[in-house]
């Protein structure tokens, strides 16, 4: 089957029509606004001239000039986007040619022939876990053909097989062949115009401030212009919603169409397997970057981030017991969605891509299979992949400002340090993920009767019990969303739950049903938690030096949990009340807002003093964090002098807030980990005792 024979779906054609009509609606609306602004400007200028002509004086000259400026300022606002320039930053890209990578270009040749589209103008390698088609989308691209470029991320190449890479590139070339990409160019330019008038106003704000500062007479007319501009911005926001909601719908259909093209090139399975691995590949690369971000003060760098990424990918696969094929984790759809138990489906009108499950379901519907094909890691098709990886690694570290000479970490040291980090910041895999998203909380562990517990460890932490935990989490999330729908805080006309379509007005009845379901699930989880406590308490009693440490650790975690929410709310409320700093706010309002947060700041300072005096936090408080917190509580800080913010003092506040929130979460984690590690030690001690007992019995001679 030729890819050109693939029929566009009805949904694709409908979304294309709706998007084109919405762009046309924007164009007509914007043109009408400009014509009205020209008329307003002419009227204001005429009025100003006539005012001066009727009674020439200083007052009328100033008033006439101010009146004329009102219209002119509005017109400048509407047309200022014409004088802004936009250039795609390609400094982080590495261009490659056919002579550099003949096997990759041969693969592209095959895809171009099968998809029957044009060869890319240029091919670039980037640092990330992604592949994309892009082109310089200027005003002229809306009217004339523009050659497209292909960008492939080394973080992607590093984590896919050759066939998977071919499928991914076939998907991207599927976009090459879509005439609807022209629509994307129009939407891009529409958004540039809207963004310029809504948010890119620094130079314009300085212009009107300079003009209004000349005389108080001008301030009145500038205020009039701002009122008109505010109204125009309200209209633009509505137009933005219309254009982009329709385009997002089209974008999702374009993804489905490009997936079908890829399936015709390689069969659906290579693209399916790469989609299922993508989140893990992305997470592994981000984890490596976060590792080195934490080492900036130590000036430690890597010579090959992609070698590190591949190690992390393998380690995560090992901890999750994923099978390996072609040296890469082979993840099933069931495994990927193992922890997603939500049955609520609300169509996200702002999503540019369909969900992974939806894409895979559509891919499988093609039922296109190519049988057995030779496959191996995609890295192998490159002439010298290690050289490319090191070059782009160097680009990444070049963008970081280090205070002194950097030190290169060996791969062996990275593996050791990363494994130590992941083990220090995660819970043992023996619990099967049971505690990853829940806490072992018991309000009165001392009052739990120690009757005979005949449930085995594997039963307490079985997949069934883990599923119960994540079912509870999903139900809680679905209930919150349904409550917002019922209270009209989320505007949804229809939604699906467990495959059944509901209207928004049905959310209240469904909400009651789910709350009853959640109560039953929580009851079952609580019952299992009690059995877990009894199981480990029994092991603790069986030790040579029996103690009551288990109950103590449960009590400490429960008490900390009771305080955590109120303490963390101080951070949340203060963060919310400081949002005005990130937007343009009248000077007098800034002072009022800062007075309003004083009680919250006092509460924050009190909690910080409590933390510094609490020995439970000692293990988490570094010298740097202690210095930041002590500096903040040392005095009352002034953040605004009546004319401008004191950025240095604001940094003191935000640093204290962020470290306060970090310490709360970190100590909660450490208390939880201490409890779970103690339980694990009880299990290991018991296992060793059993093994010793068996060895002893085996050594006893048979009485016969």
**CA of 594: how far to CAs of 567, 580, 635, 645, in Å?**
21, 10, 16, 11
For the chain, give the number of residues.
704
The angle subtended at Cα 526 by Cα 520 and Cα 530, nearest 5°, is: 145
Is there a single domain that holds both residue 591 and residue 643? yes
**Alpha-carbon span 120 to 157, nearest angstrom:** 18
Give the DSSP letter of residue 94.
Answer: E
Q: Which residues pair with 134 in a beta bridge?
A: 149
Is there a single domain that holds both residue 694 and residue 598? yes
Domain finish residue from 515, 541, 567: 541
CB–CB of 484/504 below 8 Å?
no
Domain finish residue from 497, 525, 541: 541
179 occurs within a structural domain: no
Is there a single domain that holds both residue 277 and residue 358? yes
Which pairing describes strands 344-345 and 328-329: parallel, antiparallel, or unpaired? unpaired
Query: What ranges in 4-153 are assigned the alpha helix state H?
Result: 10-54, 58-79, 102-115
Is there a single domain that holds both residue 295 and residue 389? yes
75 occurs within a structural domain: yes
Residues 6+ positions from 237 with CB-CB distance below 8 Å: 198
Burial 36-49 (b: 16+ CB within 10 A, else e): ebeebbeebbebbe
Structure tokens given for 196 = 């310029």
Per the listing, tokens 């790469």 go with 274
How many C-beta atoms surround the C-beta of residue 386 within 10 A?
Answer: 13
**Alpha-carbon span 249 to 256, nearest angstrom:** 11
Q: Map 147-180 to HEC letters.
A: CCEEEEEHHHHCCCEHHHHHHHHHHHHHHHCCCC
Is there a single domain that holds both residue 638 and residue 681? yes
Is there a single domain that holds both residue 140 and residue 282? yes
Domain finish residue from 541, 556, 573: 541
Rg value, the chain, Cα: 32
689 occurs within a structural domain: yes
Q: What is the DSSP string of 567-625?
A: HHHHHHHHHHHTGGGGS---HHHHHHHHHHTHHHHHHHHHHHHHHHH-GGGTTT--HHH
pLDDT under 70 in the chain at which residues? 1-5, 84-89, 136-146, 178-182, 184-185, 217, 349-350, 452-453, 546, 689-704
181 occurs within a structural domain: no
Structural domain count of the chain: 4
CB–CB of 229/72 below 8 Å?
no
Which of 408, 141, 174 is closest to 271 using CA atoms? 174
Q: Under the phi-then-psi rule, with left for phi > 0, alpha for psi from -120 to 50, and beta for the rest, what region is 510? A: alpha
**Alpha-carbon span 340 to 471, nearest angstrom:** 8
Is there a single domain that holds both residue 489 and residue 584? no
* Structural domain of 39: 3-89+188-253
Is there a single domain that holds both residue 656 and residue 691? yes
**CA of 345: how far to CAs of 216, 288, 334, 495, 498, in Å?**
56, 33, 18, 6, 8
Question: Quick one: pLDDT at residue 588?
Answer: 81
**Alpha-carbon span 183 to 409, nearest angstrom:** 48
595 occurs within a structural domain: yes
Question: Quick one: pLDDT at residue 182?
Answer: 65
Burial 51-79 (b: 16+ CB within 10 A, else e): bbeeeeeeebebbbbbbbbbbbbbbbbbe
Which of 671, 675, 662, 569 is closest to 622 using CA atoms? 662
CA 534 to chain centre: 40
H or E stretch at 331: none
Is there a single domain that holds both residue 217 and residue 247? yes
Structure tokens given for 281 = 């590949």
Is there a single domain that holds both residue 52 and residue 162? no
- Let me know if 18 is exposed, middle or buried by CB neighbors in 10 A (0-12, 13-18, 19+): middle
**Alpha-carbon span 306 to 190, nearest angstrom:** 38
H or E stretch at 345: strand 344-345
Over the stretch 508-532, which tens digit does the pLDDT of each residue have? 899 999 999 999 999 999 999 999 9
Please measure the distance between the N-terminal and C-terminal CA atoms of the chain and give it in whole angstroms. 79
Question: Quick one: pLDDT at residue 696?
Answer: 44
239 occurs within a structural domain: yes
Q: Which residues pair with 329 in a beta bridge?
A: 324
Question: Quick one: pLDDT at residue 64?
Answer: 82
- Let me know if 316 is exposed, middle or buried by CB neighbors in 10 A (0-12, 13-18, 19+): middle
Is there a single domain that holds both residue 607 and residue 559? yes
**CA of 4: how far to CAs of 126, 208, 253, in Å?**
30, 55, 16
Give the DSSP letter of residue 72.
Answer: H
658 occurs within a structural domain: yes
CB–CB of 478/344 below 8 Å?
yes
Is there a single domain that holds both residue 204 and residue 220? yes
Give the DSSP letter of residue 297.
Answer: T
CB–CB of 196/84 below 8 Å?
yes
407 occurs within a structural domain: no
Residues 6+ positions from 115 with CB-CB distance below 8 Å: 3, 170, 173, 174, 176, 177, 261, 265
């Amino acid at each position: 089957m030729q890819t050109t024979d693939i029929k566009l779906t009805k949904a694709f054609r409908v979304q294309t029509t709706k998007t084109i009509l919405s762009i046309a609606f924007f164009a007509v609306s914007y043109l009408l606004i400009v014509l009205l602004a020209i008329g307003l400007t002419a009227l204001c200028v005429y009025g100003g001239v006539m005012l001066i002509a009727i009674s020439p004086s200083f007052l009328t000259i100033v008033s006439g000039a101010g009146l004329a400026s009102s219209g002119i300022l509005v017109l400048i606002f509407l047309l200022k986007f014409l004088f802004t320039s936009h250039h795609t930053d390609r400094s982080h890209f590495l261009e490659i040619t056919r002579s550099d990578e003949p096997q990759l270009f041969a693969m592209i040749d095959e895809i171009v022939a099968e998809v029957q589209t044009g060869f890319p103008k240029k091919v670039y390698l980037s640092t990330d876990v992604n592949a994309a088609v892009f082109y310089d989308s200027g005003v002229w691209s809306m009217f004339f053909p523009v050659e497209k470029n292909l960008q492939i991320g080394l973080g992607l190449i590093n984590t896919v097989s050759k066939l998977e890479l071919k499928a991914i590139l076939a998907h991207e070339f599927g976009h090459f062949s879509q005439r609807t990409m022209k629509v994307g160019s129009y939407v891009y330019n529409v958004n540039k115009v809207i963004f310029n008038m809504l948010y890119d106003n620094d130079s314009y704000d300085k212009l009107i401030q300079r003009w209004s500062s000349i005389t108080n007479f001008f301030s009145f007319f500038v205020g009039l212009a701002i009122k008109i501009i505010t109204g125009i911005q309200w209209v633009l926001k509505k137009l933005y919603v219309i254009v982009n909601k329709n385009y997002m719908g089209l974008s999702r259909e374009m993804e489905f169409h490009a997936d079908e093209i890829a399936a015709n090139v390689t069969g659906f399975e290579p693209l399916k397997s790469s989609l299922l691995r993508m989140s893990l590949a992305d997470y592994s690369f981000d984890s490596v970057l976060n590792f080195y971000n934490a080492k900036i003060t130590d000036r430690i760098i890597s010579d090959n981030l992609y070698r590190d990424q591949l190690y992390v990918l393998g380690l995560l696969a090992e901890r999750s017991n994923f099978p390996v094929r072609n040296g890469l984790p082979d993840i099933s759809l069931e495994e990927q969605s193992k922890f997603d138990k939500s049955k609520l489906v609300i169509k996200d009108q702002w999503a540019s891509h369909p969900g992974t499950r939806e894409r895979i379901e559509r891919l499988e519907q093609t039922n296109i299979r190519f049988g057995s094909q030779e496959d191996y890691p995609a890295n192998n098709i490159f002439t010298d992949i290690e050289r490319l990886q090191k070059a782009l690694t160097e680009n990444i570290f070049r963008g970081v400002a280090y205070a002194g000479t950097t030190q290169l970490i060996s791969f062996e040291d990275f593996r050791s340090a990363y494994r130590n980090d992941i083990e220090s910041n995660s819970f043992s895999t023996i619990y099967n993920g049971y505690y990853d998203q829940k806490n072992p909380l018991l309000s009165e562990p001392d009052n739990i009767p120690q009757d005979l517990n005949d449930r085995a460890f594997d039963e307490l932490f079985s997949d069934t019990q883990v599923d119960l935990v994540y079912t509870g989490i999903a139900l809680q999330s679905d209930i919150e969303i349904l409550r917002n729908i019922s209270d009209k805080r989320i505007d949804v006309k229809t939604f699906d739950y467990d495959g059944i379509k509901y209207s928004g007005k049905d959310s209240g009845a469904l909400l009651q049903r789910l709350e009853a379901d959640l109560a039953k699930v929580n009851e079952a989880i609580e019952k299992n938690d009690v059995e877990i406590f009894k199981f480990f308490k029994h092991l603790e009693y069986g030790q040579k030096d029996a103690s009551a440490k288990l109950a103590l650790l449960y009590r400490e975690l429960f008490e900390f949990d009771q305080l955590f929410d109120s303490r963390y709310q101080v951070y949340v409320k203060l963060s919310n009340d400081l949002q005005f700093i990130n937007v343009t706010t009248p000077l007098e309002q800034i002072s009022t807002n800062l007075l309003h947060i004083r009680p919250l700041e006092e509460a924050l300072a009190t909690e910080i003093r409590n933390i510094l005096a609490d020995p439970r936090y000692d293990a988490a408080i570094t010298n740097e964090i202690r210095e930041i917190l002590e500096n903040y509580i040392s005095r009352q800080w002034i953040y605004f002098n009546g004319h401008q913010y004191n950025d240095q003092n604001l940094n003191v506040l935000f640093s204290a807030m962020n470290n306060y929130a970090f310490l709360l979460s970190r100590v909660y984690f450490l208390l939880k980990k201490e409890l779970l590690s103690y339980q694990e030690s009880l299990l290991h001690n018991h296992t060793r005792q059993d093994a010793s007992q068996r060895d002893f019995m085996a050594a006893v001679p048979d009485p016969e």
